[in-house]
Every structure is written in C-alpha cells, then in structure tokens.
Structure 1
Amino acid sequence: MNAPFRTLPVCLFLLLSAQGQAAPPATAPKPGPARSVSAPTDAERYARRCQSQTAQRIARPQGTMLWGTKRGWDPEKTTEERTSVLVSVALDAPRQAEDGVTGLRFENGRLWAVPPPETRATVSDVVGTVLQGTASDGKPVEVAICGAEPAADDPTRVFYRIEAWNPVAREWENPCVALDRSPAPRALAVGGVWDASGAHADAADRVTFACENGAISKCILWGYAPWASRDGKSLAGLHQACTRLARADYCGNGRSHTRQDTTIDIYDRMGVLERATEVTREWDPAKGSFEAAWAPDGATCLSRTRDGRALEGILQECPGRFQASTGDARDEGEVCTVSRGDVKPGATLLRNLSYGPPKAEPARVQ
C-alpha cells in the first residue's frame, strides 16, 4: 500500500507539439573521421554498450511525451507526435546476458534475473543485459540495461539507466529525451505496452521503459504506481487516467493539448492526491479553476481546454464523443461545458484544475 499523499500541485513540463523531432545544434560539430560503412558484428556492438558515446545528440526535443522517448533516430526527419524509438521490450530470450540468465521477470516495478543467482538476488543482477525491444513502427531495437538505482525517497522503486542501439548513427545512446532539469534521464520499468493512441494493454512477457520526462513515469512519481493498491483497490486505472490527464489527451487518441511548464492541481476519488488549499510557489488555488474530469480512456467532462484553444476544435477532433452539458456542478466549482454520455457511474477517477489561458473567451458550444 502506498503512503497517502496530502496535496500535490503538479508542474507539467511538457512541450508544444511541433513537426520536427529536434532542432539542429547551434554550432555544427567539426567533421570527424569517416565511419566504416559495414555494420559492426554483434560482439562488437555489445562490447560498446553503456559507454555513453552520444549523450548530447539531441539538442532540442519537441512535442509532448507519453513514453518520454525520442520520436526517431534521424534528427533531420520529420516525425509525428505519437511515434517512439522504443515502446516496449521483451523479457524472454535476451540478446545478451550473464551466464545462466535465460530471461528477466517483472514484479512491482522491478526487474529480476531468471533464474535468480545462487547468492542473494539484487536489482543489479540485470545490469549488462541486452533485451529485444520494439519501436512504435514495429521495427526491432536492442536495449541495454546499464544501471539500476533504487530511488532515494522509495528504495522499492528502481530507476534504470538504459541505452538503445541507434541504427542510423550505429551507436548506443540513451533513448530518453533529455531536458534541462533532467539531462541524463533514467527510466522506470512498467508492465505492459502503450500504443500510439495512449491505450495500455497488459502483457506478461513485455514491459515499457518509461523515461523520467514522460507521462507514464511522471504519474508513478505523483503517486499512481499501477502495481500498487490503496485500501485493497488497484491504482492501475488511476495511473492510466493520469497519463491522459498529464498530456491533456481529451479525446483519448494519444494527442496532447498542453504547453510546457503548465501548472495543474490533481485530485482523485481515492484520496491519493487531494485538492490543494494552500498557496505555494507553484500553485495559487484562488487562480485555478476546473478544467476536466478523467477516466482511463480520456476526459469524461470538459470545462475548457488547458492551452486555450477553442473547445470546438476538440469536438471536431473526436466527433460524437462529447455533448453539451447541463452545466450542473458536480462539486465545488466543477461545472462542465461538455460531457460524455457513455460514461458509466464511477468511471471518472481523476479531476484537475489549471490556470485559465490569459484573456480567453468563454467557451461556447452550439
């Protein structure tokens, strides 16, 4: 059971959607020695893993993130928001492992060697393993586990330092998007797979490496670990609803509608996070107002958009999903402009407040 959280105004450091994967460096690097056109052998490739050859290849990552991973390996190629160089890894049949290790096992946010060592098993037993991963386009990608670090605030939660083989640069590199506050992001292991629409599917033999700067990982750090429970109830649904909320994925189609550095206040029906009542450096309750209510498949009730775009644009993005609301308040200040009619009682798990966009016109629905 997780320890209860009282209040947690959450700063979402998310980037505006843009067409490019990354801006080129401000100063072009000096040309280096020409690379061999022949691909390295497996033995050569594995010997080079975890050496951090290209820690700073991407200068300016763009777009809001679900996995927190890079969209593509080629910074010159335009990529869509819902693509990723790595969406999941298989736990069985590792490409490289310590002698006797035939696979890995996932349990409560950790990876364990199979079979376990004869001596006491530790989280470091998996370091050096190379797993077979998959990108969003279905192409294979090899992933090396380079480190395992228990979190300082919760030793049961383990961060993994990972590298993936970049077939364009022919180098190992961190597939996680680096931001100023997290220049060398790590990843959490999370059971199952997320697809391009943001939907989660259980898979006993696969896990997702959720990078620190992505919504999947952030929602765990905010208190919604999907493998945890509270009062005997699983938090898996809350975690999935949180991934929609964090990215303002109103339509439940994997598209985000938020801006970088947007501060919001999250609260839920189970009491993991409660509505903030005190002024902090990050949040002023008097300035916040109700934005939306959330289920695992997206928003169930919407008052306004987080980034200030016209509400009609959301209705066109997912036609038939929302209908004009009666305007009845569900709770203090929770007045919806549009609501879903197909939501069963109890489906709404999360709600959030945010600061309204400056000089925004009141939303109207015909």
Structure 2
Amino acid sequence: MKKLFSVFVCLLVNSMSLASEPKRDSARAAPERRGVPPREAPCKGPQDPQRISWPQGTMLWGMTRQSAAEERSSVLTAVALDRVTLGGAPLKDVRLENGHLTAPNLPAEDLSGAIFQGTASDGGPVEVAVCGAEPSQQDPAMRWYRIEIWDKQKESWENPCIATQRAPNPKALAVQGLWDKQGSRHEEPGKFTFACENGAIAKCIHWGYKPWATKDGQPLTDMHQACTRMARADYCGNGRSHTRQDNVIDMYDSLGLQARTTQASTNWVPEKASFEAAWSPEGATCLARTRDGQDAQTILKECPGRFEARAKDLGEGDHCSVRLKGKHADTVLLRNHSYGPSPRI
C-alpha cells in the first residue's frame, strides 16, 4: 500500500476528524449504595483541556498514572465484559467485535451511560463509564469512545485519557487483549483494553495495524504488538521507552501496510534521517542507534544477554551493528528511520 504520509511518534489519532461530542443525555448515575451519599452522574461534560500533559511517545495505554514517575502505573489496564450495568440494571451479553462494543438489541450509541468494571495496574478495581460512541472515519465498524472513571480520592468522574494541546479531549478505542507492565500483549477471556488515542496501542491501530484484522490472510496481531514496541522505542521488550516528546519516525513493514517515505515534505526530510532498528513483537531484533541519543551500551546493560555486537545487513541501506541473539534474531516485521545522532554502537 502506497504510503501517503510520514508517521510521527507524536501523531494524534484524533486527527481522524472526531469533530463532534457524543450525546450525553442517556448517561445514568451509578446506583446509590446504602450508607453512602449519592454521587454525581458520569458523563456530565467535557474535560478541561489544560487538565494534564505528559511527554508524547512514551505512553502505552495513554492513561493517567498512579505514580507520576512511572509510566507503567496506569489507572486503567483492563475492563471486564461482564457485570456491566446501564441505568442501574444489568446489561447482559456485552461483546467486543472488531473494535466496537455490542449488546443484544442495543445500538452502539445506546451504550452511553453503561458502567463497566475495570482494573488498574496495581490490581485495584475501577469503575468505567462509557459516555458516547462515534464511528471512526478510517473504519466505520470501529468506534471511538469517550470514557470516564470514578476517582475515589477526588470523588468525581474523570476522563482517564491524557490530554495534550493537540488532543485536549481524548477518546479511546476498545481493543481485544490486555497489556502488562512489560508492554506484552496477552489474551484473557472476557476482558479488553480501553486504549486512549495518545498512547501507542491506539496509535498503531490508526497506522493500520489492527490486531483483529488480517492482511493477505496473515493476522496483524503480531504486527500491532511490534508497532507498540517501535512507537515507544522499547528495544529490550521490557516496557521501558527510549523516545522523547515529538520525536519523528518513518516506518515500513513486511506486508506493505506502510511503505518507506522517500520524498521530502514539510513533515519529513529523508536525507536527515537514518535507520534506527528492526522490530518484532518482543522488541528490537536489530539496532543501529538509539532514538533518544543515549549510548547503545545503556541498552545492552538494560537487557544483558539479549543482544550481541554483530553486524547485520537488512538490505535497502539498513545496517545494524547489534543484533538479537537466539532463534528470533531474523524476525523482522517492522523497520523504522528517525532523526538522531550518528550511530554510536
């Protein structure tokens, strides 16, 4: 597939013309509990655009954190498909199909006001309200959801998606599978992930790597996982990011979903970029240099025994000085170029 644009680590998924706010009139308050005063209903209004901002490129879920110093301490990492309520009544047989939530005899838009039960990265329970659903212009079968979670400390409903200047009111995708603190995807029956648009999980779907889709008969699950590693510069495959805010990258893959950019534009100058790394679902398989300018020795120390100082030629001018050890050394699903210093390996 011919690539029509360069890809940015800081690219905003909400550039797909999420123009209008979802309807809110069907929202319901959580049921009152004995001995506890009634609390405010969710979905009362949009978030404050200046609420919070974190560096782009490092986020996996795109959620606010329990610890400001730890990106992996997300306030929401998993959501259950059972124990859903709507208007205080149980909502049965909720399913996730190809990027949208469904319930029997209920249009997707009528899920507004539904309360799901979620889990934070520390294992604590989280209530999640769906405040609206909008079809994606990229894929009408896929939905963008405006969500809120109940903040026990503030005693209020909050949009957990991290806001930025370019995405002041971010939304989320419903994605099959869960991601752990190491950034690894795994399946857990009856559970899914709400992935906010400024995080790598949602960005990679926007870039064409839908984990539920196929290309030429090949599932894209592994391609999507490799993309999340690449977007965050997670070389060791341990969940640690090595990118910085607004770093620009150009990606290309083995299936032709994204092709290498060769023509200069206002957003990308190929002559100023160089090959960075090749990627698999487990992280980098071949490394020429780091994206954030760190000496590559820091990566070798971070994951000792993973790489070896051995040159590898991938063709098309892409050369590595360090490569993965073991049976997955030749697995290359994605490659990327980026701006940065000369190779230091």
TM tier, smaller: 0.7 to 0.9
CA distance in 1, matches of 2:159, 2:204: 21
Task: Give 1:125 shift.
Answer: 2.7
Change beyond 3 A, Cα 1:271–1:95 = same
Corresponding residue of 1:83: 73
Mapped pair 1:71 → 2:55 = no
SS at match of 1:316: helix
Residues 125 and 59 of structure 1: CA distance in aligned 2, closer, same or farther (over 3 Å): closer
Indicate how the Cα distance of structure 1 residues 8 and 237 shifts in structure 2: closer, same or farther if over 3 A, else same: farther
Identify the residue that residue 20 of structure 1 maps to in structure 2: none
1:102 and 2:87 matched: no
Question: Which runs of structure 2 are paired with 1:1-366 in the superposition (5 Å)?
Answer: 4-13=1-10, 44-45=38-39, 48-52=41-45, 55=48, 58-62=51-55, 64-72=58-66, 78-97=68-87, 99=89, 101-113=91-103, 116-117=104-105, 121-325=106-310, 327-344=311-328, 347-357=331-341, 360=342, 362-364=343-345
Whether the aligned pair in 1 keeps the contact of 2:84 and 2:114 (CA below 8 Å) is: yes
Taking the aligned partners of 1:8 and 1:342, their CA distance within structure 2 comes to 35
Give the Cα–Cα distance (whole angstroms) in 2 for the partners of residues 355 and 44 of structure 1: 53
Shift of 1:297: 0.8
Over 6 Å off, 4+ runs: 39-43
Q: TM-score, normalised by structure 2?
A: 0.88
Alpha-carbon distance between aligned partners in 1 of 2:71 and 2:329, rounded to the nearest angstrom: 32
1:153 shift after superposition: 3.4
> What is the DSSP-based 3-state SS (H/G/I as helix, E as strand, rest coil) of the residue aligned with 2:126?
strand
> Residues 171 and 196 of structure 2 are in contact (CA less than 8 Å); yes or no, is this contact kept in structure 1?
yes
User: 3-state SS of the aligned residue for 1:185?
Assistant: coil
Can you give the 5+ residue segments of structure 1 that lack an aligned partner in the other structure? 15-38
Question: Unpaired segments of 5 or more residues in structure 2?
Answer: 12-32
CA contact (8 A) 1:53 1:172 kept: no
Offset of residue 5 of structure 1: 4.8
SS at match of 1:11: coil
1:107 is matched by which residue type in structure 2?
Answer: E
Shift of 1:332: 1.6
Cα root mean square deviation, aligned: 2.2
TM-score normalised according to structure 1 size = 0.83
User: 1:333 Cα deviation (Å)?
Assistant: 1.6
The one-character-per-residue Cα deviations of 1:197-236 (angstroms, maximum 9, x if unpaired) are: 0000112311100000000000000000111111111111
> Matched residues in 1 for 2:136 and 2:3: separation?
21
| 1:42 positional shift | 7.3
CA distance in 2, matches of 1:57, 1:96: 31
Question: Could you tell me how far apart the structure 1 residues matched to 2:218 and 2:35 are?
Answer: 49
Contact 1:191 1:204 in 2 (8 A): no
Which residue is equivalent to 1:23? Answer: none
In the TM superposition, what whole-angstrom CA distance separates every residue of 1:249-279 from its partner, at most 9, and x where no partner exists? 0000000001111111100001110111111
**Offset, 1:344:** 3.1
Which residue is equivalent to 2:17? none
Using a 3 Å threshold, how does the CA distance of structure 1 residues 261 and 234 change in structure 2: closer, same or farther? same
Q: Is the 8 A contact 1:289 1:333 kept in 2?
A: no
> Which amino acid in structure 1 is aligned with residue 293 of structure 2?
G
User: Which residue type is aligned with residue 109 of structure 1?
Assistant: G
1:55–1:174 Cα contact (<8 Å) kept: no
Report the count of equivalent residues. 323
Question: Is 1:337–1:363's contact at 8 Å kept on the other side of the alignment?
Answer: no
Show the counterpart of 1:19: none
Q: Which amino acid aligns with 2:339?
A: Y
CA distance in 2, matches of 1:277, 1:188: 31
Amino acid aligned to 1:11: F
> Partners in 1 of 2:258 and 2:269 — Cα distance?
16
What is the rounded CA distance, in whole Å, between the counterparts of 2:253 and 2:4 in structure 1?
11
After superposition, the Cα gap between the structure-2 partners of 1:163 and 1:87, relative to the gap in structure 1 and judged at 3 Å, is same
Q: Structure 1 residues 287, 79: CA separation in 2 closer, same or farther (over 3 Å shift)?
A: closer
Please tell me whether the aligned partners of residues 84 and 90 of structure 2 are also in contact (alpha carbons under 8 angstroms).
no
Q: CA deviation at 1:98?
A: 7.0
Give the distance between the partners of 1:67 and 1:108, measured in 2 at CA: 18
